[in-house]
Amino acid sequence: IWSIRPLPYCPLLRWSGFAPAESECAGVVTDMVWHAPGLLLFAADDQGYITVWEMHGVLERTLGSQSPKHQKSPSASPRGRHHGIPPPLRRCWRAHASGITEIRLLPDDLCLVTCSTDQNVCIWGFDGEWIGCLEQGRGSGKPLDLRPYHFMPADPKGPSSPLMQYRKQGM
């Protein structure tokens, strides 16, 4: 999950026994946000992608679940921990034309807000559904700091069609 470059430094992580997670979204992570109720990790990168990882299994393995299911697994260590198994990728989509600088959950934990170096602030559903963008009074002729904010609803020509489709795994 963590974009640590170069790869030899990966063992410095606490969870060094786990294989690095791979996805077609090959950017370097710039920000992350945790959704505790769904055990989801949302990672934003410098290429404009949002990647969603299902962390339930990783947390269960890392905390050393002692259930018989984990103890009998051939990939489990003697302490019941699995090694070399990356977390399942739930979804990855192109959210912005350039790098994402921040990603945040809205207070209701149902939507994400992202901002990017492409000068857009967008609102997203958890599965990549584009809800809209916040724009700052474009074309009003007022100085930038006096422009009102407007909500632009989802547009079929906008980024609501993710570039990559992933099958939902494990949910």
Indicate the domain borders of the chain.
7-153
- Average pLDDT on 38-42 reads 89
For 59-111, what is each residue's pLDDT tens digit?
777 676 544 444 444 444 444 444 557 777 888 999 999 999 999 998 777 89
Q: What are phi and psi of 35, to 5 degrees?
A: -110, 95
Cβ contact 78:66 at 8 Å: no
Residue 135 to residue 137: CA distance in whole angstroms = 6
Q: What are phi and psi of 2, to 5 degrees?
A: -80, 130
For residue 102, the surrounding DSSP H or E stretch is: strand 100-105
Q: Return the pLDDT at 169.
A: 37
Helix (H, G, I), strand (E, B) or coil at 7: helix
Residue 6 to residue 88: CA distance in whole angstroms = 23
Cβ contact 46:39 at 8 Å: no
Quick one: DSSP state of residue 76?
A: B
| Residue in 92, 159, 96 with CA at minimum distance from that of residue 127 | 92
Q: What is the mean pLDDT of the chain?
A: 68
User: Which residues have CB under 8 Å from 105's CB, separation 6+?
Assistant: 33, 35, 42, 111, 112, 113
Q: What is the pTM of this model?
A: 0.59
